[in-house]
Amino acid sequence: MEPTPEVTPEPTVEPTPEVTPGPTVEPTPEVTPEPVPEEPAKPALTPEEIAKAEQVQIQIDYLPTEVTAVAVVEAIIDATASYQSLSEAQKGCLAQGTYEKLLSAQERAAIFNRQSNGVTIEGDIPWYVQFRVELRNEQEDTSVLEAYNVDTFITPYDMTLWDLMRDTEYKLNGQQVKVTIPAPDKELYTQLVVVHYLDDGSVEYITPVYNEDGTMSFITTSFSPYNIAGTKIAGSKPLVGNTDKAYPSKPSAQNTLTGNSGKKPKPSSGNNSSAGNKRPSSGSTESNSSSSNVPKTGDEQMPMLYIGIGAAAVLVLIIAGAVIVIRKRKK
């Protein structure tokens, strides 16, 4: 019996794990970059345009740093108009910070334009609009006082707003602004009221508010003549005209001469005037003794006169005696 041949076992084949297919990736299409648009070329300036821009530069650079007069405000207005007349290309020729310098000058002009004759205004008003205040000196209708139960006109004002850029009056058109004026002395007046004469002929009474700095404020929506009125406190004596001050008591002739004593000094007389009339002693200084150099008259000069006369008489007698002796010798 033939032996059974050995069978070589086949290698075990490991099962291949199933692979889950991933998502299909779409290929990214190539993006063609868009062309960058070229900046448009700046228009070339003519020499005249460049010269004008340079002139505006100088005009702004030389604006005063302080606004103390209307002429300075007008210079700022002119510089503003010149700047606004430039093209954008011309403005690009100006030095950096030129526009900011112009804005600062306009702010200074606004501060100056908000006050006049001690009166100030606050509100949303263009910087080139000037607040103008004049003190009036007109006879007022006293019936206006009676309507508010006061008895005295104190300070009359005429207030307006003026557009310096257009040279015409500026109207508020209902816009509210705050006006601050010097307050009359509380010791002289009470029941203060602002009398506003409207354009239609009617009268508006405004109650002011006192401020700690000695001023008072009120709100208004239009400008025209105003008057500060009140009731005069008994015993006060206001100055002549429209004012809020009082006369001090007039000094008498005696007070003028002697100050607060109220008495006139009595003039000294005779030999009792002062010790300065006494003859200076031998120890007096040169300045004090200068008065003694004045020639004196009276008894002190008489002995000198007699001595002189006596000396002359003796001299005459001596001469006469000598003549007699000479004659005798000749004989």
The answer to whether 181 touches 154, Cβ cutoff 8 Å, is no
pLDDT at 25: 65
Segment (H or E) for 179: strand 177-182
Question: How are beta strands 119-122 and 168-169 bridged, if at all?
Answer: unpaired
What is the reported pLDDT for 321?
56
Contacts of 180 (CB under 8 A, 6+ apart): 119, 120, 121, 122, 211, 215, 216, 217
Tokens of 271: 């030999």
Res 22: pLDDT:
64
Q: Tell me the two tokens of residue 257.
A: 């001469």
Cα distances (angstroms) measured from residue 57 to each of 2, 88, 116, 194: 126, 14, 31, 47
> What is the pLDDT, as a whole number, of residue 128?
97
**Dihedral of the CA atoms 155, 160, 164, 167 (nearest 10)?**
-130
Q: Quote the tokens at residue 82.
A: 């010149």
CA distance 75 to 153: 39
Residue 267 has a pLDDT of 36
Which secondary-structure segment (H or E) carries 206? strand 203-206
Residue 241: what pLDDT? 46
The predicted structure's pLDDT at residue 16: 67
d(CA 323, CA 331): 13
β-bridge partners, 206: 194
Structure confidence at residue 265 (pLDDT): 36
Ordered per-residue pLDDT tens for the chain, 331 residues: 566 666 666 666 666 667 666 666 677 777 777 777 766 555 689 999 999 999 999 999 999 999 999 999 999 999 999 999 999 999 999 999 999 999 999 999 999 999 999 999 999 999 999 999 999 877 678 888 888 888 899 999 999 999 999 999 999 988 999 999 999 988 899 999 999 999 898 999 999 999 999 999 999 999 989 999 999 987 656 554 444 443 333 333 333 333 333 333 333 334 333 333 333 333 333 333 333 333 444 444 444 545 566 665 656 556 555 544 444 444 4
Q: CA distances (Å), 115 to each of 90, 95, 210, in order? A: 36, 33, 19
- Give 3-state DSSP helix, strand, coil % of the chain, rounded to 5: 30, 20, 50
User: Given the structure tokens 């009276």, which residue do they identify?
Assistant: 298
Instruction: Determine the Cα–Cα distance for residues 175 and 77; give it in Å rounded to an integer.
Output: 24
Residue 210: the pLDDT is 93
For tokens 């429209």, the residue is 242
Residues 6+ apart with CB under 8 A from 327: none
**Contact, 58 vs 102, CB < 8 A?**
no
Q: Does residue 129 come out as left (phi exceeding 0), alpha (psi in the -120 to 50 range) or beta?
A: beta
The pLDDT value recorded for residue 228 is: 93
**Phi and psi for 149 in degrees, rounded to 5?**
65, 40
Number of CB atoms found within 10 A of residue 227's CB: 22
- Per the CB < 8 A criterion, the answer to whether 223 and 157 are in contact is no
Contact 227, 157 (CB under 8 A): yes
* Predicted pLDDT at 307: 56
- Report the C-alpha gap between 125 and 173 in whole angstroms: 12
Q: What span, in angstroms and rounded, lies between the C-alpha atoms of 288 and 275?
A: 12
